[in-house]
Amino acid sequence: MNRAKCLRCCSSSTRFQIPARIPPFSRLFSDQKRHAQAPKPIIDIKHIRQNPALYAQNCIDRNYTRQATHPQSIIDLHTEWQNLQTSAKALRTRANLLGKGLASKSPSDIPELAGLSRDALQDEAKAIKAQLATISPSETAALAEIEALALELPNITSPDTPLGKDHEVLSYINEAPAASASTKSHVDIGTQLGILDFAAAAHTSGWGWYYLVGAAAQLEQALVQYALTSAKRHGWTQVSPPSMVYSHIGSACGFQPRDQHGEQQVYAVAQAAEDVARGVPAHVLAGTSEIPLAGMKANTELQMGEMPLKRVAVSRCYRAEAGARGASTKGLYRVHEFTKVEMFAWTEPHDEDVFEEMLDIQTEIIESLGLHARILAMPASDLGASAARKVDMEAWFPSRAASMGDGWGEVSSASMCTDYQARRLATRLRYKGDLGFPWTVNGTALAVPRVLAALLEAGWDENSGTVAIPECLRPWMDGMDKIGPNLN
């Protein structure tokens, strides 16, 4: 397979190196109150203060314009905190001296207290105590605000990521379909064959949901089993994760309730008023098993002998942002709930081999399914908060080409997140004698709805009214090589 060679040749020859940082155990943020089960983020505040222009420009490049002022705000708050520390130190020094004087039979023997009566010493000590009572909460508030601002900053972008808004085409998978190929949409194909039912789902759940019936439901399971088999063959360990997670776990992975544009991202589970009052942490439905997989090692210390730690999971995924209705979101392309096989791994810092292996697995799957696809290095403006680098794979959808003029549609992606998630989840790594942070990578082995839609369109034969089933899926399709009106 030449995918790996193409990517390595097309991408930067320089391996991704983030700027030098302070030791990973250094932390300059508050121990603000949080739920006992929530991991305490370990953010490198000093690195932000020392490189404000880097972080500000990174926010601009990634279209996080609101956060672009955060680095300077962090510097200003740190200066304020230092001034409070200096004031508090001077007051405590004076308070200790007053305490020494009050404990002495002859306070006037202490040069700094000469001429002060015992009543004057007591009055000054009370005044200092009141001042310190005001300063201490201000110190805590400043540190809490510094941490909150730092947590909103996106990851530092990899040099392999194109700047701007345009992606870079790295390579292609399989040959392009003939110009005479059908442009019938998967919605029409599935409806004609009786294997997709959007109308019933609209009555049951609303727009953005669907029923897979008969051969389509069987094809979903075949796709899942094939993707799992492919990943496990490369040494990935299968996990069955929960579909519901604490909201703070999702946030630590870079998934906020709303994105930077204010659009709803996740489904939150309603809480009883008494649970809210008691501080019970909120739950959300996971938009990808990346989130519960990352959470597996929250508040955990990993060892170098475990690296890389590779996991693959199949789960139902829930997305609130199914998008506006139209050709670009028609049918199975953008839905609220779907099945996905996800790969997630922890690696030692600066190890990109697992990321490349992940891309190889994705390429192998798409190639075996016979889909024409292209591999893209995604631009900085398209990256989520956690990713330093992102590679997408887009399949060719004939119906999208006919209705929109652009037939490409994303079917998988892979992201390298460096230590962004590990720091926020307090996942540590005993690395070369020090306690640092592992890097995390994640990638879609297979997202069922879009791949299923692409297979229906690519395999459709108008003359026979059938859809060809890729050979690699037939072991899970009872040996069927086609889906048709008399075969389903």
Q: Which residues pair with 303 in a beta bridge?
A: 430
**How many CB atoms lie under 10 A from the CB of residue 455?**
25
The pLDDT value given to residue 441: 98
pLDDT at 5: 42
Distance CA 255, CA 444 (A): 16
Closest CA to 369 of 393, 345, 392: 393
- Position 402 scores a pLDDT of 75
- pLDDT of 150 reads 97
Q: Is 442 annotated as a binding residue?
A: yes
Ligand-binding site membership of 412 (annotated): yes
Q: Establish whether 319 is an annotated binding residue.
A: yes
- pLDDT value of position 10: 44
Residue 320, annotated ligand binder? yes
Is 338 one of the annotated binding-site residues? yes
* C-alpha–C-alpha distance, residues 421 and 427, integer Å: 8
274 is in an annotated binding site: no
User: Known binder of ligand: residue 335?
Assistant: yes
**CA-closest candidate to residue 250, choices 112, 386, 414:** 386
Distance CA 231, CA 130 (A): 63
Q: What is the DSSP string of 312-357?
A: EEEEEEE-S----SSGGGTTTTS-SEEEEEEEEEEE-TT--HHHHH
The β-bridge relationship of strands 211-212 and 196-197 is antiparallel
Q: If the chain, 488 residues long, is cut into consecutive pieces of 10 residues, what is the mean pLDDT of each piece?
A: 45 39 34 67 97 98 95 97 94 90 82 84 90 92 96 96 95 86 91 97 95 98 98 98 95 75 77 91 95 97 96 96 60 95 97 97 98 97 96 94 84 98 97 92 97 96 96 96 83
pLDDT at 201: 96
Using DSSP, state whether 301 is helix, strand or coil: strand
Residue 337 annotated as part of some ligand binding site: yes
CB pairs under 8 A, 24+ apart, for 354-358? 354/308, 354/310, 354/441, 355/389, 355/414, 355/416, 355/441, 355/443, 356/4, 356/7, 356/8, 357/234, 358/414, 358/441, 358/443
Question: Whole-angstrom Cα distance, residue 164 to residue 60?
Answer: 10
Give the span between the Cα atoms of 486 and 488, in whole angstroms.
6
User: Closest Cα to residue 14, out of 432, 389, 431, 434?
Assistant: 389
Domains and CATH numbers, the chain: 45-152 (1.10.287), 168-483 (3.30.930.10)
Q: Does 411 show up as a binding residue in the annotation?
A: yes
Residue 183 annotated in ligand binding:
no
Between CA 359 and CA 370 the distance in angstroms is 17
Q: What is the pLDDT of residue 32?
A: 36
CA dist., res. 335 & res. 269, Å (int): 19
288 labeled binding residue: yes
Judge contact between 266 and 255, C-beta under 8 A.
yes
